[in-house]
Amino acid sequence: MNRPRILQNGRLLPSLEAALEQSFDVHPLWKEADPDAYLRDHGGEFVGMVTSAIKGGSREFLAMLPNLKVISSFGVGYDALDVVGAQSRGIAVGYTPDVLNDCVADTAFSLVINVARRFPACDQFTRRGDWLKGAFPLTTKVSGKRMGILGLGRIGQTIARRASGFDMAIRYHNRKPRNDVAYDYEPSLKALAEWCDFLVIASAGGAETKHLVSREILEAVGPKGFVVNISRGSVIDEDAMIDALEHGQLGGAGLDVYTHEPNVPERLLKLDNVVLLPHLASATHETRQAMADLVLANLHAFFESGHVKVAVPPLTA
């Protein structure tokens, strides 16, 4: 029996790559010196593709795969993938939500604590021997403060539960209010920014949310407030954020994502009121394996039933 031919767009977990090769006829596109030339000659051979939230697949890329029937993506974000175009062609698109909620929320709340209490700087202070010369400066309390969440989806709600454990007041901003949560909805992002002590960004990326956290929003958070981003770097106007941090107009920032990853602006690296992580919110052994299992399950489900196990919801242009 012929195994379905699958295109692998980008590196994946070694365990997932091995499992894919056991079940499918997989071609690793990342090994090709000229991927576009290869796809022009061989793109019609593939009925499936496995990719990631970072790697995705543009409209032009998918156009070189005329017989594609299913995409299974490793990750919860899909702004790098032309989902609208794929769905319009009848291509099933699977992804890996929910299994990473806890680790991403843990990372978000860790950034809240670390940027407010300045624990990374405290660590370096102790290692340098500066404690022998005097005490570390006072920092900002977290418990009992006000958290504003931009994007109260699965991850945003998990972050809110973490914040509840710290007796924090919680409000959120979405395109529209949810009727299944008890948190207060704020229809204005600026008003949310003015109200909160911590603005946590958990929204989707993509064109609709690009620079949603603008200079105006950052100024509303203010010199005593903090911004935490575990979403996509594009949601924040990065230059405006750096200006605000440099000039004391924003208290601090905890960042796991950036505009041009893995390139972090030199100006950010020089600041001591930021905590910088290398986009690792879901990067634990347990969560990445669960994501890998779901990527594989989506493909198996499609070739057995014609439907992926967990599909990206229908989108419109």
Q: Which residues are catalytic?
A: 232, 261, 279
Whose CA is closest to 86, among 112, 52, 63, 55? 63
Residues in Cβ contact with 1 at an 8 Å cutoff, skipping those fewer than 6 apart: none
C-alpha–C-alpha distance, residues 6 and 23, integer Å: 10
Q: At what angle do helices 101-117 and 154-164 cross, to 10 degrees?
A: 50
Compute the distance between CA of residue 216 and CA of residue 260 in angstroms, rounded to an integer. 22
DSSP-derived letter for residue 89 is T
Cα gap 301→194, rounded to integer Å: 47
Local structure of 184: helix, strand or coil: strand
The kind and range of the H/E element at 66 are none
- Nearest residue to 252 via CA among 136, 134, 126, 142: 142
Task: Indicate the DSSP class of residue 250.
Answer: S
Strands lying side by side in the sheet with 274-276? 184-185, 169-173, 146-150, 198-201, 226-229, 252-255, 274-276
Tell me which amino acid residue 28 is: P
Alpha-carbon span 215 to 244, nearest angstrom? 8
Integer Cα distance of 242 and 231 in angstroms: 18
Residue type, 86: A
Sequence-distant (≥ 6) Cβ neighbours of residue 238 within 8 angstroms? 258, 259, 265
